[in-house]
Structure 1
Amino acid sequence: MSGYYVSSYVKKKAVKYLSITQFEPTDARAAFPCFDEPDFKATFNITLGHCSYLNALSNMPLKERIPMLKHEGWTWSMFETTELMPTYLVAFSVNDFQGYAKHTSCNQKRVKFTTWAREASIREQLKYATEIGPRLLNYYEQLFDIKYPLPKMDQLAVPDFSAGAMENWGLITYREAALFYAPDVSSEADKQRVTNIIAHELAHQWFGNLVTMSWWDDLWLNEGFATYIATLGMEKMCCKWNAYEEESLDNMLAILSTDAYCSTRPIHQPVTTANQIGGLFDPITYRKGAVIIRMMHMFIGDMAFRLGLNNYLERHAYGNAKQEDLWQALTQIAHDHSSLPKDLCLQTIMDSWTLQKGYPLIKVRRHYANKCAVISQSRFQLQPEQQPSARQDQLFEQKRQYCWFVPISYTSELAHNFNSTAPSRKFGCVARQKASRCRCGCVICLENEWIILNVQLTAPYRVDYDSCNWRLLIDALKGLDFQQIHVLNRAQLIDDAMTLAWTGQRSYALALELLSYLSQEREYMPWRAALDQFLPIYRIVRQTDQYEIFQKFMLCLIEPIYKQLEGMREDSKQRHHVVHKTLIASWACRLQHADCVKSAMDYWQQLISARAANPVPPDLRAVVYCTAMRNGKAKDWQLMWELYCNSTVASEQRLMLQALGCTPKECLLQRYVQLIFSRKSLIRKQDALLVLGSIIRNEIGYRIAKQYYMQHFQLLYKYFWPNIRELASLLVHFSQQMSTEQELQQLTVLSSSRLLQRHTSRSCQRALEQAELNLAWRKERLLQFIGCLNT
């Protein structure tokens, strides 16, 4: 699924073929001779030869079709000359798809916006993408104050596609599940996902296409911006989703976890080979890039941010840029609007976030008699410095002194200002030395009241308060007016307390007492943070004799919110947050909550006996399907497989593939693994990781998949080639389930393969680090954690 390749689908029992491109990052050279680097921009004149009854698509509109001489029934399709662009954005396809067009007026210019898909995908599934795309395009033109430069925009749904989507200029390609939305079948979460992906790819038409990074080490200028700008687009399209805050929290939680490993990397990462470039398409580029852009947006203000982006895009339009060019353009505007001190430039601030890996832990130590607080910083790692690893790279990292320019925003019990996210103190590289702390002005004066740093979770850092301030915060959360603390900061307090307890820097007694306030919490984001923290603990504890204690505790914890969200009852009027309801229900059924399991099995029985429409509410299908497989019989699994084979809705197919991996029956799981790689598999190659991931998350499936990986490594290597990153990512999935010495030894053997090390050494290091952390937690903190549950 790279270069210029063939995809296929079945239509009336006949196999139909289409051609499609995927050139990013360095596969245009597989289709035509070229200098395949982002700063070699050129115009392209593209001509495709094909059977006359087929469509031909490319970046630009069709100029003319000419019959081929001496080849009856064949045609040359010639396209208009492209704008200046890099090779990785060139795209073309020959297919027999249907197009659904809609014209949109962008800056007084009519742009033809067409969504293409195979005929089997009925018009109804394309309607949403056809409508939301032009609206997003119009919004971005207003946001950037720069018109979309091409006369058309095509969206193409490809049956076989390795990525989620690809931002080719004027011809965006998508995996079908990323573009299709069936109103009566797809869930509200599916709708949000489709919106997010379309918003991301359309944002690329400016960030990446109009202005392209000079080299791949600045890939985050493309992907980080598209990820962040997509949250603004989603918020504009549907404010009821609360997309800006929830997507921002999602990115933040992911980075606070991912970037705390020794094996992480800087956002700006030098690369010299194609394999290294491929390794940049990871959460650091996408999510951390988005997180620091949001941080910058919030401390320079919306006006300076918008005008600064316009300045950057206008200055480098149709050319290339480095991150220094972005900082220069934004600094100029921020100084003009007095939103950044004249003695500071953004490059000084932002280089500390892009050129070094990880993020800081801010320690707040209050002197209550003097009514002040002193803050300091050090790099936060899940493997603390007092527990050095034997690996030399980690020993080296522990000797290095990290320092960030941190935007310090805070509020207190009396001030109670969660609306102002601007830094309350001047920026400063808050070093460990006391003199440096004072010189940077990071001493906070206040009364004997609670204090919270990082208002609305603006910047990627953790905060550890002194014990007394933690106690004041716990008392505030357990009080009746706990909602006076902003919902993002409630999520932050949960995430920080539980993570500090995981590393042993704070006790589980403190963390669990803080979490006890959840009995009165009704908002999604704090629950999301809490359950994210419990997931790695669940994976470890379920392998031990203490699981029943954990299960009982978790059921008591979620019982109030499960009832408040009306359990598994269909919410036709959407009185409750759909994603929240799904999250709580999935945990309830995973923990064998009696009502949840019974309701899910009742829905499943209704589905089995249904002769028409699926009776399972779309928003609960992921929970129902997995629970039915977990608690059902072999015939239920076979029925789910048949439902998958007959489904024509891509999002529904994904749910079913994941649910099939939930069965505890070894024979079925072994069969499922083999189905992935069978010669005539009905599981598309693009979904192989989805299926394997669902099997590995299963306690029994994990062992089966691990054994298959060990015994059939050469087969898997050949299957995934050249996307060896996907093969290595399975090691990370395995490591999340590991917590014993024997498993760590097995992982060491698996990750030592020269074939993997050659392409994906960072993934191998991450997997080993994860397994070591799990093992250390099980040895050193499991009993402490269980003891706190008992009390």
Structure 2
Amino acid sequence: MDMPGEEYKGGGIKISRNAAIFIACTFGSSLLLVGLLCGLLPADDPCNIQVPEPTEPPVEPVETTKALMTTERAEPTPSPGPTASAPQPWDSLRLPTDLIPSHYDIGLRIYIDDEQRFVGSISITMECKQSTHLLLLHSKELNIIPTSVRMLSVDEGWLLPKGPPRLFPANQYLIVEFDEMLTAGKSYIFTIAFYAPLEDGLVGLYRSSYQANGETRYLATTFFAPTDARKAFPCFDEPAMKVTFNLTLIHEDGYIALGNMPLLRSESAGTGWTRSVFAKSVPMSTYLICFVVCDFVEKNTTTGNGVLLRVWAREDAKDSLDYALEKGAQVLDFFDGYFGTQFPLPKMDMIAIPDFAAGAMENWGLITYRESALLYTPGVSSSSNKQRVCAIVAHELAHQWFGNLVTLEWWDDTWLNEGFASYVEYLGTDAAEPDWGMTDQFVSADLQTALDADALITSRPIIVDVETPDDINQQFDTISYNKGASILRMLQNFLGEDTFRKGLANYLDEFAYSNAKNTDLWRVLTEAAVEDGKADIKVEEIMRTWTEQMNYPSINVTRDYTSGFTLSQNRFLINPAANTTTDYDDLGYIWYVPLKYTTSAAPNFTDPTLQWLEPEREQVSIDFDDGMTSEDWLLANVNAYGFYRVNYDEKNWDLISKQLTEDHEAIPISSRAALISDAFNLAVSGQLSMVTAFNLTFYLEDEQDYVPWSVLNQVLGYVDLMLSRSQAYGLFSTYMRRQVEPFYNYVGWNDTVGSHLDQSGRVIAISLACGYGNEDCVNTAIEYYATWMADPENNPVPPNQKSRVYCTAISAGGQEEWNFAYQEYLSTSVATEKNILLAAMGCSRIPWILNSYLELSIAPNGTIKAQDAENVAGYVASNTIGSDLAWDFFRVNWDFYRNEYGSSVFQFSDLIESVTANFNREFQLQELLDFIETHPDQGTGSRAFAQAVDQTRANIRWMEDYEEEVMEWLEWAVTA
């Protein structure tokens, strides 16, 4: 691409160089008059005005101004014409389109070490599309300097605001009114100056910290998605407002600055200060802007297509960067080829941030990561950590195309970003690590997670209206990520790989550097299907049924055992007794269903028969043509590509169960996993006997593959949760201990043998064996931990087994074992080790230790980072001894959790889900309802609370309907 030079381009304004110099001089003089924020004019200012070095801005103190400007609803003066009671532009969540930006010049001076604040100025070039006297920008918790506000028109000169700018906090708007109307068709430059504290937070522009050689070191970093660029500078903070921008950062000496684009130059900005100037960006949305000021070190390589790839971390983590660097280069080159469009920037930086809310953020050209998502330490980190690093790197690199190059038009299509990245991360990981079986792993990791979440009446369609800022944050959930990925995988399967890739390439080509909606994608894929002779596949018509209504179907397969079978569908709900009243639209809760099937008479798992179920046909009858007999099984949804569950008549279930017992490998891994998940969930919903579901588990004595055991761990983990305080739990533990014992004996403890999937299977085998009281497993774990305690400098625990060993030993031990883990948590600099220890400390069976742990997690200026406090509550809640403690603690400390996480993308909903997960009694439901009623301000947790109520009701029903039945089956199975 054509890399811009350093000269000011002027956005969309067409003026001569002399006129530009005159305007810049006039503008520079006006900034000088108000002492504009400490010398933040670009160094290549054509007037070469020398602005004084920093002093305090000539305004009120930060705290006072912030309070005045953010706590009250500030109404602007009504415009002439409409009455004051009529809807005003600032009442809408969406910005008006009277003014459209084309370029930003951003200047920031960041005080990291002592004063902990930032000051800045911004000029925005914009075009007036429709005459207006009103400018709306997003601004959140910024202190505006009123005398800095200017609007410049090349033809009309300066336009002064009508009074100081005002805030409308409900929609986070900064409102600027002008006496004169801005003229349609003309371009303008708007300038404004501001300042704010550099807080130790997790969103916007914030300060992070880490320990090195006994001292605390700091860095400034950003997390703007989806709506927090407005916390760093006033802007048009919507994804459709894609613009170019120039960034200049002034920071203390001793730090380096990174941005989306390459650094053009770094120069002195006065004693103790450095000015870093970055190249002009490609057009991009504000939520993707990123910059970091730090003292980190890097490793680098150049990809096959000539992109400079660098990975960054604090110096003592430098040796943990190699894996991400190697796989990042491989994945970047793979996506270049797969998408048919090369990565358009000259460099890609990936950086590990010590304090980070999410797993990673896909900022264009500068991806930020939580440390555990980027750093892999051989010999210390586990194979699951290794896979997480590779998968998240692939996910974020996929976003450089899906999300960055082509961006969603509005947040109701969040899944266009996240669903795509969540699906193709498996393709990228598979290209980098072809022996990991990522195709099968999708079934256990993404598909089943999505099916579970979407079975609730409190789910939502993939595409919904977004009406508040909290609504935007709540789009980043399992439905957008996992269900989005799953329906794209289904789409790829029925379109065919070649047609799917052709459509994606055309989509990226047509909408590069702009925005798209889901209907644009469907159109392009349909066109590709027509080109490939598949005109009967109407992509939009099909996919509307999967994106515009929530839930999914259960496909009923009923055989006559003579000539054929029939197919029908019904809406699947995990709790069919739930109140189905909802605010969401639907299409009759019937779907276009691509169903692929095969039989034992003529098994074909690579190219199975495709049969469509269409909304207008209630039932489809199919005749066998492969010599099928009444003793042959029928298997539908081969390899689990369809986003639905399949139920058979009782005899076919028995035939499948018999096949699994006799030779389970006759059915592929993904299908075995789906059978287990379908059976137990259909049983919970009342569509299948619980006995039939449990009968499938007999074959597990012979199962040695990771993916089916992973799914079994999920579905029986639910049974475990429900029975944890039931008299049936002893029988359940005995049965599970017996079923996992052959797997445990097969895999052993030697982590040096076997493939990556073997190691993953070993983790599950040991986790289940120890968890259900296998004596050899428990004793081995305790012995490993005791050996480590005796010699803390030499940890003998196999890296893959640390989670279970630490948890088992702490559960069996007391204060001494817990204290040892805590001291190791404080002393280790390895992020993944910290995470494991943090989880293990929640395994104690001593209530006062758990309560102290909860208190420690929210202590001001404590040893546990803010990014991890909600995890501690979840870890304690997952412990039967600690579940009530965590729920009580959550309620008592609601204000802390609401203030800290209530506007977060992921953390708040995860916290609510974890502290209510085991609720299955009426009194718990009532406590939950009472709490919701007395705490109506739920932020981004409103949907999570509604889902917790729905799930609790489903759990209560499960206990009422199945506790005795399961107990009777377990009594029979254990004694059989």
Q: 1:164 corresponds to which letter in structure 2? A: G
Partners of 2:692 and 2:532 lie apart in 1 by 44
Change in 2 beyond 3 A, CA 1:754/1:608 = closer
Tell me if the contact between 2:444 and 2:710 (Cα under 8 Å) persists in the aligned partners. no
Which of 575, 578, 582 is the aligned partner of 1:393?
582
Deviations 1:23-70 (A, max 9, x none): 1111111111211111111000000011232101100001122322xx
Change (3 A) 1:344 1:130: closer
Distance 2:617 2:725 in 1: 42
Counterparts of 1:575 and 1:172, CA distance in 2: 27
Q: CA 1:630/1:354 → structure 2, altered by over 3 Å: closer, same or farther?
A: same
Match of 1:52 in 2: 253
Are 1:298 and 2:481 matched, yes or no? no
Q: Which amino acid aligns with 1:609?
A: A
Q: Displacement, 1:752?
A: 2.5
Which residue number in structure 1 is paired with residue 284 of structure 2? Answer: 85
Structure 1 residues 531 and 63: CA distance shift in structure 2, 3 A:
same
1:23 aligns with 2:224: yes
Letter in 2 for 1:114: R
**Corresponding residue for 1:518?**
700
Q: Deviation at 1:728?
A: 4.5
User: Contact 2:557–2:568 at 8 Å: present in 1 too?
Assistant: yes
The question of 1:477 aligning with 2:647 is answered no
Measured against aligned partners, the alpha-carbon deviations of 1:187-230 in whole angstroms (never above 9, x if no partner) come to 11110000000000000000000000111111111111111111
- Between the aligned partners of 2:909 and 2:330, the Cα distance in structure 1 is 39
Query: Contact 1:156–1:173 at 8 Å: present in 2 too?
Result: yes
Residue 465 of structure 1 is aligned with which of 648, 651, 661?
648
Write out aligned runs for 1:19-168 (5 A).
Answer: 19-68=220-269, 71-106=270-305, 110-121=306-317, 123-168=318-363
Kept in 2, the 8 Å contact 1:91–1:171? The answer is: yes
> Is the 1:212–1:321 contact (alpha carbons within 8 Å) kept by the matching residues of 2?
yes
Structure 1 residues 736 and 430 mapped into 2: Cα distance closer, same or farther (>3 Å)? farther
Structure-2 residue corresponding to 1:760: 941
Asked which structure has the greater CA Rg, the reply is 2
Q: 1:508 aligns with which of 690, 705, 711?
A: 690
Give the equivalent residue in structure 2 for 1:348.
541
Q: Is the 8 A contact 1:36 1:87 kept in 2?
A: yes
**Which of 440, 452, 455 in structure 2 is aligned with 1:260?**
455
Q: 1:381 maps to which residue?
A: 573
Which of the numbers 415, 425, 438 marks the counterpart of 1:230? 425
SS in 2 for 1:186: coil
In 1, the alpha carbon distance for the partners of 2:765 and 2:693 equals: 20
Asked if structure 2 preserves the Cα contact closer than 8 Å seen for 1:54 and 1:95, the reply is yes
Q: Which residue of 2 aligns with 1:418?
A: 605
Q: Secondary structure at the match of 2:343?
A: coil
Q: Using the alignment, how far apart are the partners of 1:154 and 1:575 within structure 2?
A: 28
Deviation at 1:546, TM superposition (A): 2.0
Shift of 1:726: 3.2
- For 2:652 and 2:443, how far apart are their aligned partners in 1? 26
Q: Deviations over 1:744-768 (max 9, x none)?
A: 1111122224444454322111101
User: Do the aligned residues in 1 keep the contact of 2:898 with 2:938 (CA within 8 Å)?
Assistant: no
CA–CA separation in structure 2 for the residues paired with 1:377 and 1:603: 52
Cα gap change, 1:604 to 1:119, in 2 (>3 Å)? same
Q: How far apart are the structure 2 equivalents of 1:665 and 1:756?
A: 34
What is the correspondence of 1:259-408 to structure 2 with a 5 Å cutoff? Answer: 259-338=454-533, 340=534, 342-369=535-562, 371-384=563-576, 387-389=577-579, 392-393=581-582, 401-408=588-595
712-721 or 677-686, which deviates more: 712-721
8 Å CA contact retained: 1:739, 1:775: yes
CA contact (8 A) 2:704 2:743 kept: yes
The alpha carbon displacement at 1:516 in A equals 0.9
**Aligned in 2, Cα 1:309/1:468: closer, same or farther, shift over 3 Å?**
same
| C-alpha separation in 1, matches of 2:420 and 2:578 | 36
Q: Which amino acid aligns with 1:239?
A: P
Contact kept? 2:210, 2:218, Cα under 8 Å: yes
CA change 1:392–1:406 in 2 (3 A) is: closer
Q: Deviations over 1:642-664 (max 9, x none)?
A: 01100011001100000000000
One-letter code aligned to 1:474 = S
Task: State the 1:708 CA deviation.
Answer: 1.3
C-alpha contact 2:356 2:369 (8 A) present in aligned 1: yes
- Structure 1 counterpart of 2:137: none
SS of alignment partner, residue 239 of structure 1: coil
Cα distance, 1:512 vs structure 2: 1.7
Amino acid at match of 1:78: V
Q: Secondary structure at the match of 2:594?
A: coil
Unpaired runs of at least 5, structure 2: 1-201
Structure 2 CA distance for aligned equivalents of residues 452 and 18 of structure 1: 56
Change (3 A) 1:586 1:310: same
Q: Report if the CA contact (8 A) 1:406-1:430 is conserved.
A: no
Name the residue aligned to 2:180: none
Residue of structure 2 aligned with 1:198, choices 381, 388, 393: 393
Q: What is the aligned-residue identity percentage?
A: 37
Secondary structure class of the residue paired with 1:548:
helix
Residue in structure 2 matched with residue 489 of structure 1 by the alignment: 671
* Aligned twin of 1:686: 867
- Write out per-residue CA displacement over residues 90-137 of structure 1, whole angstroms, 9 at most, x where no aligned residue: 11111111122212231xxx221111111122x211111122111111
Let me know the Cα RMSD of the aligned residues. 1.9
2:639 aligned residue (432, 451, 456): 456
Question: Residue 241 of structure 1 aligns to a residue in which SS?
Answer: coil
Which of 872, 886, 895 is the aligned partner of 1:714? 895
State the SS of the aligned residue for 1:577. helix
Q: Alignment partner of 1:66: what SS? A: strand
Q: Report Cα offsets for 1:2-33 as digits up to 9, x if no partner.
A: 11111111222222211111111111111112
> Structure 1 residues 724, 488: closer, same or farther in 2, change over 3 A?
closer
Would the alpha carbon gap of residues 519 and 212 (structure 1) be closer, same or farther in structure 2, given more than 3 Å must change? Answer: same
Q: Secondary structure at the match of 2:280?
A: coil
Contact kept, 8 Å, 2:462 with 2:548, in 1: the verdict is: yes
- Give 3-state SS (helix, strand or coil) of 1:582's partner: helix
Deviations 1:531-550 (A, max 9, x none): 21111111121202222111
Normalising by structure 2, we get a TM-score of 0.77
Could you say if the C-alpha distance between residues 217 and 400 of structure 1 is closer, same or farther in structure 2, counting changes exceeding 3 Å? Answer: closer
Contact persistence 2:552–2:572 (CA under 8 A): yes
Return the offset for 1:572: 4.2
Question: How many angstroms apart in 1 are the aligned matches of 2:852 and 2:935?
Answer: 29
Residue aligned with 2:287, SS: helix
Inter-partner Cα distance in structure 1 for 2:676 and 2:617:
26
Aligned CA distance change for structure 1 residues 105 and 175 (closer, same or farther; 3 Å): same
Q: Which residue of 761, 777, 781 maps to 1:600?
A: 781
Deviation at 1:426, TM superposition (A): 4.1
Give, as a single letter, the amino acid of the residue that structure 2 aligns with 1:379: R
Q: Is the 8 A contact 2:477 2:906 kept in 1?
A: no
Structure that is richer in strand per residue = 2
Deviation string, structure 1 residues 271-292 (Cα, Å, up to 9, x no partner) = 1221101001001101111111
Q: CA, structure 1 residues 713+757, in 2 after alignment: closer, same or farther (shift >3 Å)?
A: closer
| Gap regions ≥5 residues in structure 1 | none
What is the alpha-carbon distance in structure 2 between the residues aligned to residue 388 and residue 273 of structure 1? 27
* Cα distance between partner residues in 1 of 2:527 and 2:920: 52
Q: Aligned pair count?
A: 768
Q: Name 2:614's counterpart in structure 1.
A: 428
| Whole-Å separation in 2 of the counterparts to 1:276 and 1:518 | 43
Displacement after TM superposition at 1:680 (Å): 2.5
Shift of 1:731: 2.8
Residues 426 and 381 of structure 1: CA distance in aligned 2, closer, same or farther (over 3 Å): closer
Q: What is the Cα deviation at residue 249 of structure 1?
A: 3.1
Task: Specify whether residues 493 and 576 from structure 1 end up closer, same or farther in structure 2 by C-alpha distance, changes over 3 A only.
Answer: closer
Any idea what SS the aligned residue of 1:404 has?
coil
Letter in 1 for 2:232: A
